[in-house]
Amino acid sequence: MQCGMLFAMHADTTQPMQRVLVIGLDCATPQFVFGSDAFELPNLQRLAASGCWGRLKSCHPPITVPAWASMMSGRDPGALGLYGFRNRADHSYDALFTANAQAVRVPRVWDIVSRRGKKVVVLGVPQTYPPRPVNGWLVSGFLAPDTRVDYTYPKALKAELEGALGEYILDVKDFRTEDKAGLLKRLHGLLDNRFDAAEYLLDTKPWDFFMLVEMGLDRLHHGFWRNADPHHPEFIAGNPYQHAFRDYYRAMDERIGRLVERVGEETAVLVVSDHGARAMHGGVCINQWLIQQGLLTLRDAPPGITRIEDCAID
């Protein structure tokens, strides 16, 4: 099972905790943070030295949806009824729906904190679109279709945030593109935009619980793993993106350091990821195996690689 990671730090252990800051790093993988291939990340390493740290076992399946919802609700995917971005609406092969905020039917941490009368800020957490009311401010994550929709609570926060930042970037599109130079530039733009938004909200909103999720790492790993991981079978030494992981992690570490400096010693800081990543050396064609075992029958053999939805199942 893929692992995530956790750092927890309370700057002044002699004083009671007043606020909580959660920095979520989607797909931050332990081997690059405190494993054998760890990069030089002074701010994260300082957090580890002053608090506690360790590997977290992700849920099953270990992917963004449902992992963040599991972490923030304390329920596993079976209890949530969520197993991925696209969930089956019934027992057919082709009835699917997108598992957005409406699919999460249990309270998450910020809902509970809101009910206790505390102020919350939620920024970029997956499965928060469409936005629901909270006792504070919420900016949806990448499952929002685009920034033309109302992706904030309250609605007025959208214009305020875009006025402060110029734009709010939900996600990087087409992160499996072969235009690696363009993708890398957009990823660093997403990183800075998300942390700029966090700094703005930290400085302008009163809060007791603040959580953001940075999605760029997930897209970076999808787009550059074979370019940056020497253990990948397609890795070519000296390629122009050999240090893409190292440079991005260092840039992210610098932004984390700036954020932690802003919150003061009365704040407990947690840095968490939902799952890790590793090189893919192959895959299992489960439908082909089912056919070979006589457990799946098609009326006609497909001419080649074909989606199961397009096959005539007997």
pLDDT band at 281 (very low <50, low <70, confident <90, very high): confident
- Residue 16, pLDDT above cutoff 70: no
Query: Which pLDDT score, from 0 to 100, does residue 146 have?
Result: 96
The tokens for 230 are 């020497």
Per domain, the residue ranges of the chain are 3-282, 284-314
- Residue 13, pLDDT above cutoff 70: no
Query: Which pLDDT score, from 0 to 100, does residue 55 have?
Result: 87
Least confident of 46-60, 92-106, 300-314: 300-314
Query: Which pLDDT score, from 0 to 100, does residue 1 have?
Result: 42
Instruction: Give dist(CA 121, CA 123) in Å, integer.
Output: 7
Query: Which pLDDT score, from 0 to 100, does residue 62 have?
Result: 94
The tokens for 116 are 């206790």
The domain made up of 3-282 has a fold known as: Alkaline Phosphatase, subunit A (3.40.720)
Q: Which amino acid is at 175?
A: F
User: CA 146 → CA 133, 183, 265, distances in Å?
Assistant: 20, 18, 37
Pairing of strands 267-272, 3-10: antiparallel
Query: How many percent of the chain have pLDDT more than 90?
Result: 75
The tokens for 26 are 């989607």
Instruction: Report, as an integer, the average pLDDT of 246-253.
Output: 98
Instruction: Report, as an integer, the average pLDDT of 92-106.
Output: 90
- Taking the model in full, what pTM does it have? 0.92
Instruction: Report, as an integer, the average pLDDT of 10-25.
Output: 78
Instruction: Give dist(CA 86, CA 182) in Å, integer.
Output: 28
Contacts of 267 by beta carbon, 8 Å cutoff, 6+ apart:
10, 11, 17, 18, 19, 20, 21
Which of residues 283 and 212 earns the better pLDDT score? 212
Query: How many percent of the chain have pLDDT more than 70?
Result: 95
pLDDT band at 75 (very low <50, low <70, confident <90, very high): very high
Average pLDDT, the chain: 92
Least confident of 84-93, 176-185, 288-297: 84-93
Instruction: Give dist(CA 139, CA 118) in Å, integer.
Output: 17
Least confident of 90-99, 101-110, 146-155, 204-213: 90-99
Tally the residues of the chain. Answer: 314
Name residue 55's beta-bridge partners.
Answer: 5
Among 131, 132, 134, 139, which residue's Cα sits nearest to residue 119?
134
Judge whether 116 and 194 are in contact, CB under 8 Å.
no
Q: Is 206 left (phi over 0), alpha (psi -120 to 50) or beta?
A: beta
Query: Which pLDDT score, from 0 to 100, does residue 192 have?
Result: 98
User: CA 42 → CA 10, 22, 251, 310, distances in Å?
Assistant: 17, 18, 11, 51
Terminal Cα-to-Cα distance of the chain (whole angstroms): 34
Query: Which pLDDT score, from 0 to 100, does residue 3 have?
Result: 64
The tokens for 257 are 């350091």
- Residue 220, pLDDT above cutoff 60: yes
For 7, counting Cβ atoms within 10 Å of its Cβ (0-12 exposed, 13-18 middle, 19+ buried), the class is buried
